[in-house]
Amino acid sequence: MAGATPPIVRVYARARLPSRHGTFEVVSFTDSEGARLDDVAIIRGDIAGATAVPTRVHSECLTGDVFGSLRCDCRDQLELALDRVAADNFGLILYMRQEGRGIGIAEKVRAYELQDAGYDTLEANLHLGFDGDLRHYDIAAAMIHALEVQSIVLHTNNPLKVEGLEANGVEVVAREAILSEPRDENVRYLRTKKAKMGHEL
């Protein structure tokens, strides 16, 4: 898919990252003017020049990733991606600082408040005056290019991520689902993502 030229980012630093899921490499980046990005890449294996690299573009979820919230499936997806990359000894995870589908943590808590009052996750964001999903994929695409990855297999349930990366010059050769077991606390959230947001669950 032809699209916009993504911004230029450069690798800034690389370090070994031993973790509960195995040992990885963590990579940070700068933009074209030298400003440090908050987004990072987690890598296993030699992905430079490689094709069909298993890749997860994961948007930050403080409540799920850090605090273990059961309202969403974000931490489950992140841990599944880490386990897959470790098991294959090859792959890439981009951790993007796009909290709450791009609205930030403060507004996300307001959205949670509305959900407690009966709104679903999409209705809450719309009620607050936001689009359902404000995330962009130009920086993620630029990070993939900076790492010299030639093509990816994207591990996502969200077709918009495929479209967003392809629009920024990334070749997505396949999509792999990344599914976790639903819980009582997140089943409505998952149903909303499937019915209203096009996620393939």
CB contact at 8 A, 117 and 138: no
Annotated binding-site residue? 183:
no
Of the candidates 44, 75, 84, 135, the residue annotated as catalytic is 135
Annotated binding-site residue? 99:
yes
Annotated binding-site residue? 123:
no
Whether 38 is catalytic: no
Annotated binding-site residue? 30:
no
CB contact at 8 A, 155 and 200: no
Annotated binding-site residue? 22:
no
Of the candidates 120, 133, 184, 188, the residue annotated as catalytic is 133
CB contact at 8 A, 170 and 146: no
Annotated binding-site residue? 53:
no
Please, is 170 exposed, middle or buried when counting C-beta atoms within 10 Å of its C-beta (0-12, 13-18, 19+)? buried
Annotated binding-site residue? 58:
yes
Report the 10 Å Cβ neighbour count for 67.
9
Whether 133 is catalytic: yes
Helices 138-146 and 159-166, axial angle in degrees (round to 10) = 60
Distance CA 171, CA 35 (A): 27
Annotated binding-site residue? 61:
yes
Which residues carry out catalysis? 133, 135
> Residues within the annotated binding site?
56-61, 72, 74, 77, 99-101, 121, 156, 161
> Residues within the annotated binding site for GTP?
56-60, 77, 99-101, 121, 156, 161
> Residues within the annotated binding site for Zn(2+)?
61, 72, 74
